C-alpha cells in the first residue's frame, strides 16, 4: 500500500499481543507508517480497547477511516476465554492477586449450563473498578490502585450467546457474543457469584467484531514486514 492509501484511510486487522495495551499497538503502527513514508504525522486509532491481559482482534483505522471508528466500536463482538472458579480478585482478572476463595466441589456440567442461561439477553452489569471508565475526570483504575472506592452505576448490555466450551475445573472455557460495552471480567465475577463459587477471568481472546474475524488479522510483526515489503 502507498502513502496515499494510508492517508485516504485503511482498516487494519491486528491480533493484539498479550501484555500490550491497545494504545501501544496504535503507537507502534503509527510510528512504523511514519518511518516507512517519512511522514510528520498521520491519524491512527483503534475501534475498541482490549485489556493488556487479553489477545485478539483490534480494528485499527488510519487517515480518513478514523472517522468511522464509532461505527466499528458499536458492532457485536465475540470472545473466547477461561474463567477460573473458586477464587475472586479485585480486578476480576489476573491483574490483581486472589482476595477470596470458595468451594467448587458442587460445580457440575449441568449447573454450568443452567447458570449461563441467567446471563442471556439484556442484563444489568456493573463495570469493574479496575477499568478505564472516567468518573469525575479520573479513570476508575487510578482510584482502584490507590485503594479508593467509588459507586459505579450498572449499565444495560446484551449477551446474545454464552456457552461453556470445555470444563477442566477449576477452569471453565467459554464463548460469548455480546454488545458494545460488555465487560467479560464483570461477567466472570457475576457468573462466579451465580455459581456460588466465585470466579475471575484468567484468559481472554476477542475473535470477532461484526463481520471482521481474528482469523484474517496480522500480528504486529507481520504487519511491519508487509509494510516494508511494499
Beta carbons of 36 and 187 less than 8 angstroms apart: no
Task: Give the confidence band of 148 by pLDDT, cuts at 50, 70, 90.
Answer: low
Query: Mean pLDDT across the stretch 55-82?
Result: 96
Q: Is the pLDDT of residue 218 over 70?
A: yes
Q: How far is CA 156 from CA 125, 133, 135, in A?
A: 6, 15, 18
- CA 101 to chain centroid: 25
Q: What is the mean pLDDT of the chain?
A: 93
Comparing CA positions, the residue from 179, 177, 199, 178 lying closest to residue 190 is 199
pLDDT confidence band for 23 (50 / 70 / 90): very high
128's grid cell: 469493574
Residue for grid cell 471508565:
133
- Length of the chain (residues): 230
Q: Which of 15, 51, 93, 190 is catalytic?
A: 51
What percent of the chain is predicted at pLDDT more than 90?
83
pTM equals 0.92
Query: Is residue 142 a contact partner of residue 148, using CB atoms and an 8 Å limit?
Result: no
DSSP code at position 67: G
Average pLDDT over residues 187-210: 98
51 is known as an active-site residue: yes
How many helices (H) and strands (E) are present in the chain, helices listed first?
7, 13
| pLDDT exceeds cutoff 60 at 98 | yes
* Rg, Å, the chain Cα set: 19
Answer whether 133's CB lies under 8 Å from 127's CB. yes
Q: Is the pLDDT at 112 greater than 90, yes or no?
A: yes
Amino acid at each position: 500500500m502507498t502513502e496515499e492509501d494510508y492517508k485516504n484511510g485503511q482498516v487494519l486487522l491486528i491480533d493484539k499481543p498479550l501484555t500490550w495495551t491497545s494504545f501501544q499497538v496504535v503507537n507502534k503502527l503509527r510510528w512504523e507508517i511514519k518511518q516507512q513514508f517519512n511522514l510528520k504525522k498521520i491519524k491512527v486509532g483503534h475501534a475498541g480497547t482490549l485489556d493488556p491481559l487479553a489477545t485478539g482482534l483490534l480494528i485499527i483505522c488510519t487517515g480518513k477511516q478514523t472517522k468511522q471508528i464509532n461505527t466499528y466500536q458499536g458492532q457485536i463482538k465475540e470472545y473466547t476465554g477461561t474463567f477460573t472458579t473458586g477464587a475472586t480478585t479485585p480486578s476480576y482478572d489476573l491483574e490483581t492477586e486472589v482476595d477470596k476463595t470458595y468451594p467448587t466441589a458442587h460445580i457440575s456440567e449441568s449447573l454450568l449450563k443452567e447458570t449461563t442461561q441467567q446471563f442471556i439477553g439484556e442484563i444489568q452489569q456493573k463495570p469493574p473498578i479496575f477499568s478505564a471508565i472516567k468518573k469525575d475526570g479520573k479513570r476508575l483504575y487510578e482510584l482502584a490502585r490507590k485503594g479508593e472506592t467509588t459507586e459505579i452505576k450498572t449499565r444495560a448490555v446484551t449477551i446474545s450467546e454464552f456457552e461453556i466450551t470445555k470444563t477442566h475445573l477449576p477452569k471453565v472455557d467459554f464463548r460469548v457474543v455480546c454488545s458494545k460495552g460488555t465487560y467479560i471480567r464483570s461477567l466472570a465475577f457475576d457468573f462466579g457469584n451465580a455459581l456460588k463459587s466465585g470466579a475471575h477471568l484468567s484468559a481472554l481472546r476477542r475473535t470477532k467484531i461484526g463481520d471482521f474475524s481474528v482469523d484474517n488479522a496480522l500480528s504486529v510483526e507481520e504487519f511491519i514486514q508487509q509494510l516494508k515489503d511494499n
